[in-house]
Amino acid sequence: MSKTLRRFTTPQCAWLCLLCLLVLANVGCQRRDEEIAGVSIPIPEKMTKNPDKSFVPIKGFEDGQVSYQGKVPPAEIFTFYQETMAARGWQPNSWFTGQKDQIAYTKGNRVALIYYTPTPDGTTVLTIMVGTQYPPAQMNGK
């Protein structure tokens, strides 16, 4: 039976391994990381920064705000963040439970709000706000 199997030479094995690594690297390149207020947040690859976007931050998320846009369906954004944030140790919280287009996460004393809105032209606007979590008495000004 060993006579029917073709043996690869060392250079052929090296090329085959390199090809496999390149394929795996390309499959996994669906995101990039951005620093927002000193926190590394994953961003879907098809989203581009919206530098001129201005908005009023939500109380508790004032440390940093960034806006992106791209042709990524809202359901894909939701799944993307459910998977990537959990893998990085972020825990979803119940601050925006009733909102299907907002997800808040905590990690240590940092909080991140992921907010996405589809537009009529098929583009989705993604806004990320980062803050520092304080005890409730400090957040309420007491």
Measured distance CA(31)–CA(122) in Å, rounded? 20
Mean pLDDT of the 38-65 span = 88
- In 3D space, the residue among 34, 30, 31 whose CA is nearest the CA of residue 128 turns out to be 34
**pLDDT band for position 55 (cuts 50, 70, 90):** confident
Measured distance CA(128)–CA(102) in Å, rounded? 10
Straight-line distance from the first to the last Cα atom of the chain, in angstroms, rounded to the nearest whole number: 80
Percentage with pLDDT > 90 across the chain: 51
- In 3D space, the residue among 93, 41, 37 whose CA is nearest the CA of residue 65 turns out to be 37
pTM of the model: 0.69
At 141, give phi and psi (nearest 5°).
Answer: 80, 15
- pLDDT surpasses 70 at 2: no
- pLDDT surpasses 80 at 104: yes
- pLDDT surpasses 70 at 44: yes
Cα→Cα distances 111→1, 4, 79, 124, Å: 61, 60, 19, 22
**Count of residues in the chain:** 142
Q: What are all long-range contacts of 48-51, with beta carbons under 8 Å and residues at least 24 apart?
A: 50/125
Residue-level pLDDT at 101: 83
30 compared with 23, residue with greater pLDDT? 30
Residue-level pLDDT at 138: 43
93-102 pLDDT tens trace: 876 656 678 8
27 compared with 13, residue with greater pLDDT? 13
Is the torsion defined by CA of 44, 47, 28, 34 positive or negative? negative
Is there a contact between 61 and 54 (Cβ–Cβ < 8 Å)?
no
